[in-house]
Chain A
Amino acid sequence: MSSIASRRAVITGMGVVSALGSSVDRFWSHLCQGVSGVHRIDTFEVKDAACQVAATVSDLDLSTHFNRRERKSYDRFTLLGLAAAEQAWDNAYLGQAPFPERMAVLMGTGIGGISSYTEPYHALYGASPQPLNAYTIPRIMNSSLSAAVAIRFGLHGPNLTLNTACSSGANALGQALQWIRSGKVERVLCGGSEAPVTHALLRTWESLGVLVRDRNETPETACRPFDQERSGFVLAEGAAVLVLESLESARRRGAPVHAELVGYGANCDAKSLTHPDRESIAEAMRLALEDGGLFPDDIDAINAHGTGTRINDPTEAQAIREVCGPRSANLPVTANKSMLGHSMGASSALEAVASVLMVREQQVPPTRNCTQLDPECPIDPVADGVRPQRLRAVLSNSFGFGGSNAVLAFTPGGT
């Protein structure tokens, strides 16, 4: 990656659908207040599950927001993502976009239309076999969100879907940054979406031993990144879409600039499908700094991957320590998943929106439930509430199964 970008890219629009709210304002307000989006699961029977909590969207009624044709054609993950894209479009004041062939779409998802996967199995192998549904394939396919966004807004630029598990959204933004820098497109609608809260997925994640099992009666305390008593992550759904635009284009049309995406570091540990690797994480952080022309001392806060699993948090904290040195003991590190849960391919896009808001508002949201910092995590988890402070640059860390690390660097925008 070049350390000097030929074209700069800024965020001119954002949209969020999450357990903390389905608008950017509600999302940010709840993040800063330390509100938990985690609750007991009531949409399917969970008696057989050790983990009975999740973080799902409660303030967006898909049955009224979308028309019959859209509800029939698209899986829940596509509808969540499309709702976020609509917000981002309006937030960027794109209206009737000029030059739609210069507008691209790049979305991330980990498991796409997973809730539609079960339909043909019920039809084929249920007690009484039923006809199959011709809509199942378009509902399942991972690329349906990217396609739906292009269809909705008439965008004829490159249209890709990217899957690097839980770093999908961050890699979508990073690749979009490369597209803008290359000069091939002026704007990219990029982000991620996931709707993985199904009985089968809950039980499957549980079998990996990474979900919280001991907090069913107090869901709001379930996810505890960097805390000594953390026991795993909370499954979540959500979507976030950002409009990434060349600075020239944003200035030309007088668009609002929320922040600048200055750096992107991506690598693979090439060691394990599931186990995070400190050295590779530290290297991805260094790559993002180098790409953005930043030094470790320029970073005033980090939006951590911070899942709340026994393995992730100390690995990440020690990587931060390796990159930022002794300063890391006082470096604010927030973990949005303590409130949002972990929405797989969407989580890093949601955290990118939070990071943009951090540099725009000059505030660091708290990490909820970190009441007793694990000594193996030598960072400042911002446990005592939202913290106003000067933020010259923020890193957003995301790591995916398969060893795919993606780190984004944001600065206050476009000056």
Chain B
Amino acid sequence: MIRDELEVLLREVLAHEMDLSPEEVRLEMSLREELDLNSLDATNVLMTLEDRLKVEADLEDFLELQTVGDLLDYMIRLVGTEA
């Protein structure tokens, strides 16, 4: 999966979880302050991404990420795909 496809998927999953449109999710947005993700939202996002990408993510790693872009990079590392 290439970076662009992952980004589309990530926007879709975050938008669904936070009741937004995918266009409203931007890479520079902070996960907590701007997207308002709490630990339960993060758990849901990770479970969905794990299900869709067939990977295993770590919630503690996730909670250290700051922005949507950081999350995209993290998912790229997990799936082992270079953009």
Query: Does residue A68 face the partner (Cβ distance < 8 Å to B)?
Result: yes
Give CA–CA (A72, B43) in the complex, Å: 14
Choose, from B4-12, B22-30, B44-52, B67-75, the stretch at the interface.
Answer: B44-52
The listed residue (B18, B36, B41, B44) touching A131 by CB distance below 8 A is B44
Query: Does residue B40 face the partner (Cβ distance < 8 Å to A)?
Result: yes
CB of B10 to closest CB in A, whole Å: 15
Binding site of B, secondary structure by majority: helix, strand, loop or mixed?
helix
Q: Name which residue of chain A comes closest to B52, CB basis.
A: A131
Asked if residues B40 and A131 are in contact (CB atoms below 8 Å), the reply is no
Give CA–CA (A72, B19) in the complex, Å: 9
Interface size on A, residues (CB 8 A): 11
Asked if residues B19 and A134 are in contact (CB atoms below 8 Å), the reply is no
A128-143: contact bitstring with B at CB < 8 Å (1 yes, 0 no)? 0011111100100000
Give CA–CA (A138, B44) in the complex, Å: 14
Binding site of A, secondary structure by majority: helix, strand, loop or mixed?
loop
Query: Does residue A152 face the partner (Cβ distance < 8 Å to B)?
Result: no
Query: Does residue A47 face the partner (Cβ distance < 8 Å to B)?
Result: no
Interface size on B, residues (CB 8 A): 11
User: Inside 8 A of B18's CB, which chain A residues have their CB?
Assistant: 68
Q: Which residues of A contact B (CB under 8 A)?
A: 68-69, 72-73, 130-135, 138
Give CA–CA (A73, B41) in the complex, Å: 10
User: Inside 8 A of A131's CB, which chain B residues have their CB?
Assistant: 44, 47-48, 50-51
Q: A131-B51, A132-B47 are in contact. Are A69 and B40 (CB under 8 A)?
A: no
Q: Besides the contacts A68-B19, A69-B36, A134-B41, what 7 more A-B pairs have beta carbons closer than 8 Å?
A: A68-B18, A72-B19, A130-B51, A131-B47, A131-B48, A131-B50, A135-B44
Q: Name which residue of chain B comes closest to A132, CB basis.
A: B47
The listed residue (B47, B50, B51) touching A134 by CB distance below 8 A is B47
Give CA–CA (A367, B47) in the complex, Å: 52
Give CA–CA (A133, B18) in the complex, Å: 13
Q: Name which residue of chain A comes closest to B40, CB basis.
A: A134
User: Inside 8 A of B50's CB, which chain A residues have their CB?
Assistant: 131
